Amino acid sequence: MYTPKHFEQPRTEVMHALMRARPLATLVTLTSKGLEANHIPLHLADAPAPFGTLRGHVARANPLWRDFAKDVEVLAIFHGPDCYITPSWYATKKETSKVVPTWNYAVVHAYGNLRIIDDAAWIRSQLEALTDHQEANFSQPWSVADAPREYTDKLIEAIVGFEIVITRLTGKWKVSQNQPAQNQAGVIAGLNASGQHDAAAMAALVAANTKNVR
C-alpha cells in the first residue's frame, strides 16, 4: 500500500481499535486460480505481541480453507471511515482557486500466514468470542449458549475455523493532514453538515490528526 509519511498510522493500538470497531475484513489469498478475496468478520486477540492474532471461520463449502498458498502471506484489509471531500470546503478556494477534490479514508492491512483449524471446540470458542464482542453494546446481549446446543453443534459441523498470527501491520489515515489549518476546519464543518455516511466519524478523524505536513 502506497503510504506517504504524513498519512502513515504508526500506532498499533490505534490500528487495533479500527480493526475491532470494523471487523468485516477483506481477506485476500493466493489460490490455484490466482488471487481470491473473501469478506469475513475477524476477531482480534492481543497475543502474541506486538500485533496479535486474527481468528475467523468460513463455510465448509468455501474453497478458501483448502485452496491457498501455504508459503505465501495472506492479507486482511480492514476498512475504516471514508468520505468524498469537495474543494468547496477549503478556505483557500476563495484565495487561489488552486484546489481539487479528494477522498479521505482510514484502512489497516494485516499480514500473516493462514492456519486452518477444523476443530469443533475451537470453532465454538471463536464464535463465542466474536459474538460476545459484537453483542456487548446491546441492552440484552445474545450469546451462542442461548440457542439449543444440538442446533449450534449441527451448524458448527458446516464451518471451518482459521487463525492468522499477524506478522506485519500497516495503517493509512488519509484525513486531510496535508491541508492547512483553515482547510482542515472547513473539511470538519463541511463533513458535519453533509449527511454523508461516515461523515461524523471522518470529521472526528480529521480533528484528531490536525498536525499539518506540507
Residue type at position 107 = V
Q: Which residues contact 106 (CB under 8 A, 6 or more apart)?
A: 9, 18, 80, 81, 82, 171, 172, 173, 174, 175, 205
pLDDT tens for each residue of 170-180: 999 999 999 99
pLDDT tens for each residue of 114-138: 999 999 999 999 999 999 999 999 9
Which pLDDT does position 213 carry in this prediction?
Answer: 44
C-alpha cell at 95: 484565495
Which pLDDT does position 185 carry in this prediction?
Answer: 96
d(CA 38, CA 16): 20
Domains assigned to the chain: 5-82+104-178 (2.30.110.10)
Residues 77/165, Cβ–Cβ less than 8 Å = no
Below-50 pLDDT ranges, the chain: 213-214
The answer to whether the predicted template modeling score (pTM) of the entire model surpasses 0.85 is yes
